[in-house]
Structure 1
Amino acid sequence: MSVIGTGMNNVSEAAGAASNAQSVSPPVYECDRENALKGIPTEQIYVFKTIENIQEIIGKTAGWVGDLLYPYLAFLDTPPEQLWNFDAVQTPGICKQYFESLRILVIKLPSKPQEMVTGHLCHRLRRAAILMGNVDEELSGTGSTTYRATNTICRNSCKEADGGIIPHQRRPGPQGWPTIIFESGVSESLERLQQGARWWLTQNNHEVRAVLLAHILCAEQVIDLQVWRMLPIQHPRSGTPPDAQLTPQCDNQLRIDCSAVPASTIGTVPFFVIRFEDLVLRPRSENERHFFLNMLDIQSIASVFRASL
């Protein structure tokens, strides 16, 4: 089993660290090795041998994924044609990202808290749609769809989400992007989650309207929620094209302390997630509302999280 070093420093995010909603983050085009491997420790970076070898490494790592600060594996020199072979045997729950020009395959390993929190966040928004008069019938989940970048000169990267919602007005499959993406990560993976949010918001002509991140700290029993979307740069240079005046930013954040019952929060509740028009892609009627997480939603999410530990 070959393990190589990248010369990168491991990044450790302090618990509860969050991006300032007013700060400006430059668009991430994911075209260089440093960005592709950001936050992945050197001991979790391998040289591709065979698909069977990848499966073996995943199998060995899965037993102690809860102890990993960064639940990611990277495989260098992965031929693009091998990606199809991996798809055929891909373990359910695993999400991948592939950088074709770099021949780097990044695999995100699932954990029970990550899967249950992601699924329940999606469920609570879908439940809100049902309570508006079966608006949920206009929406579908993304499943394990792989999406390929379309909006930059680096159109050779692809990515799978932990979850997402796509309105029926968009065609299903890789050509129909979801309007909201759900990404969750445990322990020290916040920076990687934020990098993923930037990818989703910049690689598809603004078809993804919001990314809801859940940074899960199991030992502390804390969930930090962040909503990322494209927002105007505060002081754009004169003559900057309109599209270039938008950048991915954290627009809203909430900390949920699940260590006690009921759970407590730091931040504003109801917690705004996405406008109705941005999620469903049609004007809302009189009885339809924008999508928030209220205190009932928060307590339900906390209960599901505690049950996953």
Structure 2
Amino acid sequence: MSSYQPTSKPSSRRQVNSSESSEASQASSSQYSWGSSTGSSNLSPGDALSESVDPTIHPTTLIHAHRLDAPAKLEDLAQKISLIKELLDQRLPPLSTPVSQYLLVVHIPKPLFSDIESQPNIFKGVRATLFPNRHQVLYKIMPDEQHDQIIAFFHDGLGKKLGDMGLSSFGGDFLFRNSTRTRGLSNSKEPDLWFGPYNVNVNGGGRGRYPSLVLEVGFSESSSQLRNDAHWWFTNSSEQTRLVVLIHANRGSSSGDNSSPWAVDIEVWTEVPNPSSHQTRDRPTNSLKCTQSARVKDGSVTGAPLILDFETLMRRPPVNPLEGNVVLDAGWIRIVCAEVGP
């Protein structure tokens, strides 16, 4: 499906800056904590999400996110997203003030929310977390070229690694899905990239709803939210998604130093036992943690290689001599992150 195009554009960059700077000022002055609000908050729990204590959404995301209240039609959403994309493009290095890549949409009329639910991927380069009980949506927005390049290189690079083992998507071994909406316990979410073994995800019944690996991409200011997203995939898949890769790009110095290099952090999150083996409703036996990380800065890679466990990825043990853990070496990581930067 083609992406939705807004029917109107902002009249000037000055209009964009004025509108968004006002919102950023309001958000920065607010106070938000888990389940409580003080002062004159732009995003109080009552006005934001009924799941305000749900770890799906990090408090800092709610504080700094752009906000759209009671949009009347899809064109309102499209125009707001276009404004934020333009603002993100303007605020690439040198930076003055970081700009949130999240848009929180609240009080959505029921007919419009139904349209949003029925048309996934309507906005190009935008990922949505939907909260049906309150008719609210949290959108993640990134500049198209960098976002798409990271996803494309990761997709192709992982496919080649598996191809070297004699596996292929055309051979019915695995499949990729771009931003496929997945339903969780109380909401639904779109990842940047969805991967799973073909036989499980096509013939596996209910298990096929959940990927074995998810890729989530964002800016460094969104790292807390991305890490919450990793937990979301584990808990909302009944612990079937046990491999999440996070890539977040550091957009450089806020001092205006145009020579400040970009840095890209890659984290691999996998299932690990909780320190205590005593399981309760609030403390399950296992959880998802960052177990490996690497950084790309000024062309150099530290922390490589990163290892993706074959059995976790394919949901089966290796069956031929070529199959084994996927090794993401420094060269592979450098290529995936090659297009990140000003």
Q: Same fold, TM exceeding 0.5?
A: yes
- Pairwise CA distance, 1:41: 4.0
Counterpart in the other structure of 1:19: none
**How far 1:37 sits from its partner (Å)?**
6.2
Kept in 2, the 8 Å contact 1:118–1:214? The answer is no
- Which position in structure 2 is the counterpart of 1:264? 300
Deviation at residue 52 of structure 1 after TM alignment: 2.3
From 9, 13, 32, the counterpart of 2:51: 32
- Give the conservation status (yes or no) of the 8 Å contact 1:69–1:187: no
CA distance in 1, matches of 2:112, 2:180: 18
Cross-structure match for 1:298: 333
2:148 corresponding residue in structure 1:
115
- What's the % identity of the aligned pairs? 19
The answer to whether the 8 Å contact 1:124/1:293 transfers is no
- Relative to the length of structure 2, the TM-score reads 0.72
Question: In the comparison of the two structures, how many residue pairs are matched?
Answer: 275
2:265 is aligned with what amino acid?
D
| Distance in 2 of aligned mates of 1:188 and 1:169 | 38
Match for residue 95 of structure 1? Answer: 127
What residue identity is the alignment partner of 1:99? F
Alignment correspondent of 1:25: none
Residue 278 (structure 1) aligned to one of 312, 326, 336: 312
Structure 1: how far apart are the matches of 2:88 and 2:159?
Answer: 29
Q: What is the letter of the counterpart of residue 133 of structure 2?
A: S
For the residue of structure 1 that corresponds to 2:123, the secondary structure is: coil
In the TM superposition, 1:215-294 aligns within 5 A as 215-219=248-252, 220-237=261-278, 240=280, 244-257=284-297, 259=298, 263-267=299-303, 269-272=304-307, 274-284=308-318, 285-294=320-329
Aligned equivalents of 1:266 and 1:161: distance in 2?
A: 26
CA distance in 1, matches of 2:64, 2:340: 30
How large is the Cα RMSD of the aligned pairs? Answer: 2.9
Who is 1:212 aligned against? Answer: 245
Give me the whole-angstrom Cα distance separating, in 2, the residues matched to 1:43 and 1:202.
24
Structure 2: distance between partners of 1:43 and 1:158: 19
Normalised by the size of structure 1, how large is the TM-score?
Answer: 0.79
Inter-partner Cα distance in structure 2 for 1:147 and 1:43: 23
Post-superposition offset of 1:302 = 3.7
**Which residue of structure 2 lines up, in the alignment, with residue 21 of structure 1?**
none
Q: CA deviation at 1:102?
A: 3.5
Give the stretch that moved more between structures: 186-195 or 41-50: 41-50
CA contact under 8 A between 1:48 and 1:54: conserved in structure 2? no
Q: Which amino acid aligns with 1:222?
A: A
The 10-residue stretch of structure 1 (43-52 or 179-188) with the greater mean CA deviation from structure 2: 43-52
For structure 1, the 5+ residue unaligned runs are 11-29, 150-154
Give how far 1:34 is off. 5.1
1:21-74, Cα deviation, whole Å (9 max, x unpaired): xxxxxxxxx962255363244561221222221112112222122325320100
State the alpha-carbon separation in 2 of the partners of residues 169 and 180 from structure 1: 15
Paired with 1:114 and 1:294, the residues of 2 have a C-alpha distance of 21
Per the alignment, in what secondary structure is the counterpart of residue 199 of structure 2?
A: coil
Q: Deviations over 1:86-108 (max 9, x none)?
A: 35382222110012234320011
Partners of 1:294 and 1:134 lie apart in 2 by 20
List alignment gaps of at least 5 residues for structure 2: 1-18, 34-48, 92-97, 253-260
* Bigger relative CO (Cα 8 Å, ≥ 6 apart): 1
Does residue 1:61 correspond to 2:84, yes or no?
A: yes
Change beyond 3 A, Cα 1:7–1:109: same
Q: Relative to structure 1, is the Cα distance of residues 235 and 104 closer, same or farther in structure 2, using a 3 angstrom cutoff?
A: same
TM superposition shift of 1:275 = 1.3
Contact 1:225-1:254 within 8 A present in 2 as well: yes
SS in 2 for 1:127: helix
Name the larger-Rg structure: 2
Q: 3-state SS of the aligned residue for 1:82?
A: helix
**Secondary structure of the residue that 2:210 maps to in structure 1?**
coil
Q: 1:218 to 1:34 in 2, by over 3 A?
A: same
